[in-house]
Amino acid sequence: MKRKLAWLLLIPFLFSSFISPAAAQAGYITPSFSIVDVVPGQSVTIWTTALSPNDNIQVTMGNYGTGGVGGAVVGTFNSGAGGQLTLTFNIPPSLRNTYQIDIRLQSTISGLYSTNWFYNNTASPYYPYYPPTYPTPYPPYNPYYPPYSPYPPYSPGYPYYPQPVTPTISILSVIQDTSVTFTTNNFPANRTFNVRMGPIGSMGINGILAGSFYSGAGGSQIVTIPIPASLRGSYQIAIRCEATTGGYYAYDWFYNTNSGQVYPPYPPYPPYPPYGSFSFSILSVVPDQSVTIQTANLPANQTFNVRMGPAGTQGIGGTLVDTVNSSSGGLLVLTFYIPANLRGYQQIDLRLESTSTGIAAYNTFTNQGISPYPTPYPPGPYNPTVTVSNVIRDTSATLQAYNFPPSTTYNVIMGYPGTYYQSGFTAGTLNTGPGGSFTATFNIPSQLRGANEILVWLVNAVTGELTASTSFYNSGWGPYPPYSGIPTFTITSVVRDSSVTILTNNFPANDTFNVRMGPMGTQGIGGILVGTVNSGAGGSFSATFNIPPSLYGSYQIAIRLESPTTGYYAYNWFYNNTTP
């Protein structure tokens, strides 16, 4: 289990907020604000994120650590409609050479207040800073070392302040589906922390609020938090502690099993999820109309949302196409309609996710007919399909047609991935003559020259009905090798901090893959390039890659193979421990 923890402030000018207790008068809320700009020795600009309507606010500044209490009055204002305002106040002469300054907003009506502080300089690569359109509790997650220091560069004109240590948490014990106990380390004092939980890999970001605690004197303390009902039954859970002020956070994850020790023995393969590895396979596809699947080990008596999205999304956040009840579970054959916004896509991800336990499975299907092929065409011995047999880059594509009816004319249309034939470009017309199987070559429309991937549609010139479709890569490499399915790979051995060996399955032929590694939870996206491998004849092959020095000592490492040409990819992860 790798803990990825960080101490990060919300803006380059660093601030830490202290908010007054519960409302002194009904109807008023505590003001809150962020620092957005500083002109050294002259002024500071703030951005309010919460103000009561028609409230009178007094603004004071003072030395760092005073909270602005008894400080110099630098302005007053009326909040008007409340909410978000951008305001600038002059730094008083007595504080113009001060390194850090506290600023305080306090209502003269309710007494509610909020404080913040800022460095009286602008030595930041991010200067000036502009407020976002909505307040964020923390900056976007960066899985690697931050590219900037959260402190302003050292200057001989200012004293040096040592950097604080990083807060972390460690899991102590778990009561399955009930609670988790952890210990804090290096936590700042006098802070309230919200505790959120979410699916593994989410790092708890935007997770379910499960509880909160007060850090008191800071340092280390033991905290127990209940597991939210919606995560009960999950195999692994991410947990995150976020300070309500100051931007501090730490996160970890745990196995949702009864345990006083959360570090299991290092297995050579990722652990299997519960329910006997719930999965499903693709049985058949009617292009742009429907897909039929067969489930395996489907949990019983659960409701599943069915979503579809572009390949590579795993269906997460995709279009909701159906909701099904698993009844007795196990093996079911189900058919779902392809939503209009995905028609014309070459590959589509399909996801089934339980609304109660969160267990999910996904698969990818090619939006072309596969056997059995229910035909949408008039009765007859025809099952028309089309593939691309040869490409001359930016010039022409040769189509190989199969099982076409005789004496029928089709418009041949080409377009970009993600579009439908109505918005494509006409490449020519095709008459099938005696029908059956034949080849025909068409010029690539000028609008598509330079495109990486091109879709092809054959549309009946009389009825306007889409009859067949395919796609090709505008590479000029000759025949596009037939390929169906999903490339995957398994981990076969690991030498700690040295290398990992993989075994591929169902890889496309003659394709070159970039190999990347990164921290656990990243799926290797944007990771460190550790090598390339050519798939040769495709299918199954073994390859070994060195672990990059920057990942030495990592508990778990993500690895990803991705083709920059065809877009095929697969990813996995491994424990950085020598095995077998």
CATH number at residue 219: 2.60.40.10
In 67-124, which ranges are continuous DSSP H helix? none
Burial class of residue 281 (count of CB atoms within 10 Å of its CB; 0-12, 13-18, 19+): exposed
Verify that 110 and 16 share a domain, yes or no.
Answer: yes
Q: Sign of the CA dihedral 332, 337, 341, 345?
A: positive
Q: Give residue 158's pLDDT.
A: 38
Verify that 135 and 65 share a domain, yes or no.
Answer: yes
Verify that 336 and 466 share a domain, yes or no.
Answer: no
Verify that 327 and 433 share a domain, yes or no.
Answer: no
Q: How many other C-beta atoms can be found within 10 angstroms of the C-beta atom of residue 463?
A: 11
- Give percent of the chain with pLDDT exceeding 90: 16
Q: How confident is the model at residue 516 (pLDDT cuts 50, 70, 90)?
A: very high
Is residue 21 predicted with pLDDT exceeding 60? Answer: no
Q: Is 257 left (phi over 0), alpha (psi -120 to 50) or beta?
A: beta
213 in any annotated domain: yes
Q: How confident is the model at residue 382 (pLDDT cuts 50, 70, 90)?
A: low
Measure the CA–CA gap between 462 and 517, rounded to whole angstroms: 53
Least confident of 95-99, 134-138, 340-344, 488-492: 134-138
Number of domains in the chain: 5
The residues, ordered by sequence, that sit 6+ positions from 297 with a Cβ below 8 Å of its Cβ are: 275, 276, 277, 278, 279, 329, 330
Range of the domain at 501: 488-575
In tens, the pLDDT along 438-466 reads 999 999 999 888 777 788 888 888 877 77
423 in any annotated domain: yes
Average pLDDT, the chain: 77
Kindly state the tokens that stand for 211: 């509880």
At position 355, the amino acid (one-letter code) is T
Is residue 128 predicted with pLDDT exceeding 60? Answer: no
Locate tokens 């003072």: which residue?
62
What CATH number corresponds to the domain at position 438? 2.60.40.230
Burial class of residue 328 (count of CB atoms within 10 Å of its CB; 0-12, 13-18, 19+): exposed
159 in any annotated domain: no
Q: Give residue 262's pLDDT.
A: 37
Q: How far apart are the first and last CA of the chain?
A: 19
Q: Give residue 411's pLDDT.
A: 93
Verify that 188 and 233 share a domain, yes or no.
Answer: yes
29 in any annotated domain: yes
Is residue 517 predicted with pLDDT exceeding 50? Answer: yes
Residue where a domain terminates, one of 473, 506, 526: 473
Beta strands at 290-296 and 333-337: parallel, antiparallel or unpaired: antiparallel
Q: Give residue 148's pLDDT.
A: 33
In tens, the pLDDT along 256-299 reads 888 653 333 333 333 333 334 578 888 888 888 888 888 888 88
Verify that 467 and 492 share a domain, yes or no.
Answer: no
131 in any annotated domain: yes
163 in any annotated domain: no
The DSSP secondary-structure symbol of 330 reads B
Verify that 134 and 224 share a domain, yes or no.
Answer: no
Measure the CA–CA gap between 168 and 187, rounded to whole angstroms: 7
**355 vs 197, 310, 516, CA distance in Å?**
17, 22, 34
Verify that 114 and 178 share a domain, yes or no.
Answer: no
At position 391, the amino acid (one-letter code) is V
264 in any annotated domain: no
Verify that 149 and 231 share a domain, yes or no.
Answer: no
Residue where a domain terminates, one of 366, 399, 434: 366
Locate tokens 């409609």: which residue?
81
- Residue scoring higher pLDDT (162 or 37): 37
Locate tokens 């730094």: which residue?
91
Verify that 121 and 3 share a domain, yes or no.
Answer: yes
Verify that 345 and 438 share a domain, yes or no.
Answer: no
Verify that 346 and 463 share a domain, yes or no.
Answer: no
Which residues lie across from 489 on neighbouring strands? Answer: 504
373 in any annotated domain: no
